Amino acid sequence: MAMDKLRVGLIFGGRSGEHEISLLSARSVLAALDPEKYEVIQIGISHLGAWSAGENTLEKLEEGSYAALKSATMLPDPSYQGIYTIEPARQGEILNKLVDLDVLFPVLHGTFGEDGTIQGLFEMADLAYVGAGVVGSSVGMDKGIFKDVMRANDIPVLESIILLRSELDSNMESALSRAESLAPYPLFVKPANLGSSVGVSKCRSRSDLLEGLMEAARYDRRLLVERGIEGREIEVSVLGNDEPQASIPGEIIPAAEFYTYDAKYHDERSQLLIPAPISDQLIEQVQMLAVVAYKAVDCAGMARVDFLLEKGNETLYLNELNTIPGFTRISMYPKLWDASGISYPELVDRLIELALERKRERDRTERRYQRG
Q: Are residues 149 and 292 in the same domain?
A: yes
Q: Are residues 308 and 185 in the same domain?
A: no
Q: Are residues 168 and 261 in the same domain?
A: no
pLDDT at 198: 78
- Determine which of 19-23, 189-193, 235-239, 251-255 has the lowest per-residue pLDDT on average: 251-255
SS3 100: coil
Q: Are residues 191 and 272 in the same domain?
A: no
Q: Are residues 216 and 307 in the same domain?
A: no
- The structural domain count of the chain equals 3
CA distance 324 to 95: 30
In a domain, 356, yes or no: yes
**Of 116 and 266, more confident:** 116
Q: Are residues 166 and 149 in the same domain?
A: no
pLDDT at 91: 86
Could you tell me the CATH number of the domain that includes residue 287?
3.30.470.20
In a domain, 135, yes or no: no
Q: Does 356 have pLDDT greater than 90?
A: yes
CA distance 190 to 224: 5
pLDDT at 68: 84
Q: Are residues 120 and 223 in the same domain?
A: no
Looking at the whole model, is its pTM more than 0.85?
A: yes
Chosen domain end from 185, 207, 227: 227
HSE-CB of 248 using CA atoms within 13 angstroms: 18
* Segment 265-300, tens digit of pLDDT: 555 667 899 999 999 999 999 999 999 999 999 999
Q: Where are the alpha helices (DSSP H) in 44-142?
A: 57-63, 117-125, 134-141
Q: Are residues 86 and 14 in the same domain?
A: yes
Q: Does 2 have pLDDT greater than 50?
A: no
Question: Domain residues for 105?
Answer: 2-129
Q: Where are the alpha helices (DSSP H) in the chain?
A: 19-32, 57-63, 117-125, 134-141, 143-152, 165-170, 172-180, 206-217, 261-265, 280-296, 332-339, 344-362
SS3 187: strand
pLDDT at 156: 97
Q: Are residues 329 and 342 in the same domain?
A: yes
Could you tell me the CATH number of the domain that includes residue 219?
3.30.1490.20
Q: Which residues are paired to 94 by β-bridges?
A: 87
CA distance 19 to 2: 32
Segment 316-340 mean pLDDT: 95
- Mean model confidence pLDDT for the chain: 93
* Segment 254-266, tens digit of pLDDT: 876 655 555 555 5
* Segment 211-221, tens digit of pLDDT: 999 999 999 99
CA distance 156 to 293: 11
Q: Are residues 165 and 84 in the same domain?
A: no
